[in-house]
Amino acid sequence: MKRVITADVQDHSGVLNRITGMLHKRQFNIESISVGKSERVGISKMTFVVNVSDDQKLEQLTKQLNKQIDVLKVKDITDHAMVARELALIKVVGSGQTRAEIQGVITPFRASLIDVSRDSLTVQVTGKPDKVEALISLLRPYGIKELARTGVTAFLRGQQPQEVTDLNTHLA
């Protein structure tokens, strides 16, 4: 089962390496990971999308994350109201008439052309992972030359139907 886990971590060098190394040792499959500064100075937010086989493995994952000294707070937000987005850059083979077709394909996705060359177009799309995946599959027949995805970044919506239980809180 796919889970979206967020973690507030100390903004120190090597934190990402220690956490991904721990997940690698425990054989968790990370589908995506994104990291960036948070609203608090010295604190970064990580968003993991991981595949776990059952609730026991999920519990093991969160416990292992909580053991990391640089991890301040861990949340499994999968079953809560959340905002999740991903960015993808897609370089597609395109010249002549196919350019107009590609423009017609990307418009409903609110994607944009960010680079045009003699034989290729670069498309930028942001949104839910399903939307990004749908656009990629529509562009695939034109010939994808290069693809880069950021991975999901997410947090809880401002209003939740129920209170979220923090798995670990070390923040003072």
Q: In this predicted model, what pLDDT tens digit does every residue of 117-130 receive, in sequence order?
A: 999 999 999 999 99
- 52 & 87 share domain: no
- 39 & 94 share domain: no
CA 39 to chain centre: 18
- 87 & 57 share domain: no
Is the pLDDT score of 115 beyond 70? Answer: yes
pLDDT band at 96 (very low <50, low <70, confident <90, very high): confident
pLDDT of residue 91: 97
- 75 & 6 share domain: yes
- 60 & 44 share domain: yes
Report whether 148 contacts 114 (CB < 8 A): no
- 98 & 109 share domain: yes
Q: pLDDT tens, 30-81?
A: 999 999 999 999 999 999 999 998 999 999 999 999 999 999 999 999 999 9
Count how many domains the chain has.
2
| CATH number for the domain harbouring residue 105 | 3.30.70.1150
Domain that includes residue 12, residue range:
2-80
Rounded to the nearest integer, the mean pLDDT of the chain is 91
Return the bridge partners of 5, or none. Answer: 48, 76
- 17 & 75 share domain: yes
Q: pLDDT tens, 79-95?
A: 999 999 999 999 999 88
Beta carbons within 10 angstroms of residue 167's beta carbon:
16
- 101 & 76 share domain: no
For the chain, what's the residue count? 172
The residue type found at 20 is T
- 73 & 125 share domain: no
pLDDT of residue 161: 77
Q: Is residue 115 part of a domain?
A: yes
